[in-house]
């Protein structure tokens, strides 16, 4: 198996059978994690980049079957942050050493194209040495262009699964797999640093679906990839479905590092939710980003995409010193920089 791992790290395009062996085969995963760690150190050393996550709204027009803030969840507590609240989060984060802000929320029509553009312009005016990442779902290309022109640097839009049939089993009929994928290509065309991503262990997922994810990412060449385990939420149709496994999630993180050596890969909050050392294990498997929560403490529990999400303690941005110690315990160090992608595809890396 080590030969196959080495071939992938050297740029080999695996066959479906080879991918299947890498994903579900019985072998010593420490070989895979060690190679992923070697590759990430080659490109990023021991630096781990911090992103200040600001969860701007728990309203969402969509009804995805796995998500706790789906529009049909009438038990969800809804909130929206004002511009003043978001800017206050940025102020606090800047003092804590954050140089990237991630504005994430449900697909909420309250945040119009111009509203978001004005907000981005103001953040960049106040903090010109910081990057702004948006994660506000599917929009049309002119909207994305407007936000980019306002100063947004990056955009995160998880594709969730590259298996088209599987996508249809996770989402309501009005959501289009083709439109989701087109959005990602539009974002790249505009010039964003683009992030995609997928769940591991989501209902009905097959190994073939995970292979489709890897083939899609090889084609897209994203700058960032978010990978986390599926965790059920008690107020969704998937409440009784099994949680994604730690080992399978770490396997996909490591394989993604080998597939995309220069990618920015978060060790996700979901990993930290399913295992007390989940984020440290993610870093050791090739991840190089952590995203502490800068949202107001009063709303953190309301942005509940899945059950038992960690919202306080080391996850919170206020405990950045705790995060630094945990990252150091895994053999890395927090870098208080923008943490731009270090690739060589010719795209604009930072503004």
pLDDT of residue 75: 93
Positive or negative torsion for Cα 306, 137, 195, 326: negative
Phi-psi region of 104 (alpha: psi -120 to 50; beta: other; left: phi over 0): beta
What is the mean pLDDT of each successive set of 10 residues along the chain, which is 351 residues long?
Answer: 95 98 97 98 97 96 96 95 97 94 97 98 98 98 98 98 98 97 98 98 98 98 98 97 98 98 96 95 98 86 78 64 92 96 59 60
pLDDT of residue 302: 75
Question: For 106-162, how does the pLDDT look when each residue is reduced to its tens digit (9 = 90+)?
Answer: 999 999 999 999 999 999 999 999 999 999 999 999 999 999 999 999 999 999 999
Helix (H) or strand (E) holding 21: helix 16-24
Report the distance separating Cα 333 and Cα 36, nearest Å.
17
pLDDT of residue 348: 46
Q: Give the residue ranges of DSSP H helices in 76-127.
A: 83-96, 113-126
Report the distance separating Cα 282 and Cα 267, nearest Å.
5
pLDDT of residue 296: 83
> What is the CB neighbour count within 10 angstroms for residue 340?
19
> What is the CB neighbour count within 10 angstroms for residue 344?
8
Report the distance separating Cα 117 and Cα 47, nearest Å.
31
Pairing of strands 154-156, 224-229: unpaired
Report the distance separating Cα 337 and Cα 327, nearest Å.
16
Question: For 5-41, how does the pLDDT look when each residue is reduced to its tens digit (9 = 90+)?
Answer: 999 999 999 999 999 999 999 999 999 999 999 999 9
pTM listed for this prediction: 0.95
């Amino acid at each position: 198996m080590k030969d196959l791992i080495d071939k992938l790290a050297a740029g080999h395009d695996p066959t479906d059978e080879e991918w299947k062996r890498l994903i579900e085969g019985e072998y010593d995963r420490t070989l895979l994690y060690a190679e992923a760690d070697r590759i990430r150190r080659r490109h990023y050393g021991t630096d781990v980049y911090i992103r200040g996550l600001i969860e701007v709204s728990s309203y969402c027009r969509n009804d995805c079957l796995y998500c706790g803030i789906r529009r049909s969840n009438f038990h969800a507590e809804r909130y929206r942050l004002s511009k003043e609240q978001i800017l206050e989060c940025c102020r606090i984060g800047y003092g804590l050493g954050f140089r990237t802000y991630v504005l994430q929320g449900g697909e909420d029509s309250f945040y119009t194209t111009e509203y978001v553009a004005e907000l981005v312009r103001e953040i960049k005016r106040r903090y010109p040495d910081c990057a702004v990442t948006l994660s506000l779902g599917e929009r049309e290309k002119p909207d994305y262009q407007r936000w980019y022109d306002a100063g947004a640097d990056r955009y995160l839009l998880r594709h969730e699964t590259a298996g088209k049939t599987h996508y249809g089993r996770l989402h309501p009929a009005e959501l289009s797999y083709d439109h989701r994928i087109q959005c990602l290509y539009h974002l790249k065309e505009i010039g964003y640093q683009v992030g995609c991503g997928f769940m591991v262990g989501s209902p009905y997922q097959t190994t073939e679906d995970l292979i489709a994810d890897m083939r899609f990412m090889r084609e897209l060449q994203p700058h960032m990839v978010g990978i986390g385990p599926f965790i059920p939420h008690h107020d969704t149709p998937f409440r009784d479905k099994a949680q994604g496994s730690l080992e399978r999630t770490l396997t996909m993180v490591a394989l993604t590092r080998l597939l995309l050596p220069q990618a920015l890969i978060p060790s996700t909050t979901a990993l930290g939710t399913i295992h007390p050392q989940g984020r440290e294990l993610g870093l050791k498997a090739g991840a190089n980003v952590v995203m502490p929560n800068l949202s107001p403490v009063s709303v953190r529990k309301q942005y509940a995409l899945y059950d038992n999400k960690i919202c306080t303690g080391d996850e919170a941005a206020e405990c950045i010193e705790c995060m630094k110690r945990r990252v150091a315990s895994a053999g890395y160090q927090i870098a208080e920089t923008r943490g731009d992608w270090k690739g060589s595809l010719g795209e604009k890396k930072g503004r």
